[in-house]
Structure 1
Amino acid sequence: MTLSNGTSEGTIRWGILGTGFIAGLQTRDLKDNGFTVQAVGSRSLDTSRAFAEEYAVAAAHGSYEELVADPLVDVVYIATPHPMHRANALLALNAGKHVLVEKSFTMNAREAQEIVDLAASKGLVALEAMWTRFLPHMVKIREIIAAGTIGEVRKVIASHNQSLPKDPAHRLNDPALGGGALLDLGIYPISFAFDILGAPSAIHASASMTATGVDRQTAAIFDYDGGAQALVDCELDAASANRALVIGTEGWIDIEHTWYNPVPFTVHAVDGGVVERYEQPVNSRGMQYQAAELERLVREGSAAGTILPPGESVAIMAAMDEIRRQIGLRYEADAVSEDSLRSGDDND
């Protein structure tokens, strides 16, 4: 499937929920590529106004409730930390807004299913903001695999290792804020494995934990019924080249540093010869492509695309739930989900 060029006609109006680092990156890519960013919302009006001034956003709201109630907003981009995604997405959907929800989509599969079910019941789009899925080099890789160029895919290998803040109070190291390598970094290689091979039949995971009780590094092997495997790993206190490989019976695809960004890749034949090298410059950071996909779904009245349908976002969260079960990583949201299941109460 060939996606758009990542630009917009500007007729669909965006609201930005949250004003952190990732919100700024997405807003800049939207503004640079013709998207209409109508409003921003924060828990602090001063923070919202500062963000609006920096990125030339028309309206600033001092609460999330005011943002989603804005009649000039059609789509809400959820840019808060992932423990807040469920509540923020449900708030926007109940206000009749489509949502683009940062990854990881939620804290667990149950929360993800709540968002997907509510969106479906209201005829709205709920898309996970896994921006890598929609980049041109990933579109091309899927086309090469579908054409049989590297034969039957036998293995996917992908890493996401970064040296991030060591402060125990930092969000990434705080279990109360969904800290750890898995949800912030591991989501990338795990989503990539799903993209190429689908949902695994079995998962084998191990991890090392920090003093604060979150995973410092996690590795997993995904097994598939046909015999294929995916090897995925992540770490938050040591960096690496972060390359990825897709290995097939007739060759392999080598995606360069850093594979989840818009970078070149090379297709090798089974004897090592170069079949093709792909390199396409991308305007801006590349986060505009996921926004263009959401706008396409809205225009066409479709709830789900083929690149990252909502059900797959739920399945990815379920895989990460299983990894967390195996490595002993639990969050407050897990206890809330278990209590709700016991009581039969799905409300906040």
Structure 2
Amino acid sequence: MVQQAGSGGVTRWGILATGNIAARFVEDLRLLPDAEVVAVGSRSADAARLFADHHDIPRAYGSWAELAADDEVDVVYVATPHAAHYDATMTCLTAGRAVLCEKPFTLDLATSTALIETARERDVFLMEAMWMRCNPTVLRVLDLIAEGAIGAVTGVQAAFGVAGPFPPEHRMRAKALGGGALLDLGVYPISLAHLVLGRPDHIRSWASLGPEGVDENTGIVFGYDSGAVASLSCGIVGATPLTATITGTTGRIELAEPFFRPSAATLHRTDADPEPLPADLVGNGYQYEAAEVQRCLTTGLKQSPLVPHAVTLEVMNLLDTIRTQIGVTYP
């Protein structure tokens, strides 16, 4: 069994991929005194070396397998485009390496299930990097809802649209790269609705498809037997406000932009003045999910209670259902 926690109370991280999100994650790891970045891996040795030099990382590998084989790495952060998540994460899991994999976890439920089953068989920690579920402001909002601050939840409204334009070969449009708004952007409003209301009882969705066969503009409605409704959208043809609202029978909570890492939040109770909720965040916001990974590794957990495997699979099942309704398929 590969060791999953470093000595001296320090968790040693490997970074798989060298793009912008990997760079921001490394920046945030510097905010955790018990985190150390010890290696980076890429399909390109030159890219890995350049990234390592820029971020002062001691070891650089020109393949995913070499990174996964490094016994001085406790956990690997997979930051590739999502079409490569399955192969990258499986490489690490089969080497016995713990993994934090970016969202969306994979392109479909079948491959997500395969990763989770492999992690369980190998007795290795695995978590989807849905950072919103580890964000302290979001967690405070969930506590307020559980305390009855807005009564019974009746609705969630959230959108994530960007303006583009993106060329056909861009990951947002290329079918081979899992392109389209749904997986890249829609996973956020969908995850917020799931976080607040759970799995919907009814799903209706519509999308306009681009020439590449991926969704450009998508609308989604979740219905719940409780009477609650979630109105969600995502798109790559126009920038939407990145706010979200959670409405209840006696009030509402508004999440400021970007709602998945809210810069502020406000509680509105019926017949009461608005109550600002603290959102004193530092860095890019990735350190909270990293800290959760480290907490789990230190305590011997194989999955996080904040981002459990069951939630990852439920959300991926929702994404599969919506893709079927809007007619988007991947190779």
* Alignment match, 1:69: 69
Tell me by how many angstroms 1:276 deviates. 2.1
1:179-198 aligned at under 5 Å gives the runs: 179-198=179-198
Tell me by how many angstroms 1:24 deviates. 0.9
Query: Which range moved further: 205-214 or 318-327?
Result: 205-214
Kindly indicate whether the alpha-carbon contact (under 8 Å) linking 2:200 and 2:223 is maintained by their aligned counterparts in 1: yes
* Alignment match, 1:19: 18
Tell me by how many angstroms 1:164 deviates. 2.8
Kindly indicate whether the alpha-carbon contact (under 8 Å) linking 1:109 and 1:318 is maintained by their aligned counterparts in 2: yes
Give unpaired runs (5+ residues) of structure 2: 1-7
- The DSSP-based 3-state class of the residue aligned with 2:30 is helix
Following the alignment from structure 1 to structure 2, what is the Cα–Cα distance between the partners of residues 33 and 240? 33
Following the alignment from structure 1 to structure 2, what is the Cα–Cα distance between the partners of residues 165 and 76? 33
* Alignment match, 1:290: 289
Tell me by how many angstroms 1:262 deviates. 3.4
Following the alignment from structure 2 to structure 1, what is the Cα–Cα distance between the partners of residues 128 and 324? 23
Q: TM-score normalized by structure 2? A: 0.95
Query: Which range moved further: 297-306 or 309-318?
Result: 297-306
CA RMSD of aligned residues (A): 1.2
Which consecutive segments of 4 or more residues in structure 1 shift more than 4 A?
A: none
Following the alignment from structure 1 to structure 2, what is the Cα–Cα distance between the partners of residues 91 and 169? 26
Kindly indicate whether the alpha-carbon contact (under 8 Å) linking 1:10 and 1:36 is maintained by their aligned counterparts in 2: no
Instruction: Show CA shifts across 1:99-149 (max 9, x none).
Output: 000000110011111111111122211111111111111010011001001
Kindly indicate whether the alpha-carbon contact (under 8 Å) linking 1:178 and 1:331 is maintained by their aligned counterparts in 2: yes
Give unpaired runs (5+ residues) of structure 1: 1-8, 333-348
Instruction: Show CA shifts across 1:167-191 (max 9, x none).
Output: 1111111001000000000010011
Query: Which residue type is aligned with residue 23 of structure 1?
Result: A
Following the alignment from structure 2 to structure 1, what is the Cα–Cα distance between the partners of residues 303 and 147? 24
- The DSSP-based 3-state class of the residue aligned with 1:145 is helix
Instruction: Show CA shifts across 1:156-209 (max 9, x none).
Output: 111111123421111111001000000000010011111101111111000011
* Alignment match, 1:133: 133
Following the alignment from structure 2 to structure 1, what is the Cα–Cα distance between the partners of residues 235 and 180? 9
Kindly indicate whether the alpha-carbon contact (under 8 Å) linking 1:136 and 1:262 is maintained by their aligned counterparts in 2: no
Query: Which residue type is aligned with residue 19 of structure 1?
Result: T
Following the alignment from structure 1 to structure 2, what is the Cα–Cα distance between the partners of residues 255 and 199? 21
* Alignment match, 1:319: 318
Following the alignment from structure 1 to structure 2, what is the Cα–Cα distance between the partners of residues 137 and 249? 22
Q: TM-score normalized by structure 1? A: 0.90
Tell me by how many angstroms 1:270 deviates. 2.3
* Alignment match, 1:32: 31
Kindly indicate whether the alpha-carbon contact (under 8 Å) linking 1:116 and 1:311 is maintained by their aligned counterparts in 2: no
Equivalences, count: 323
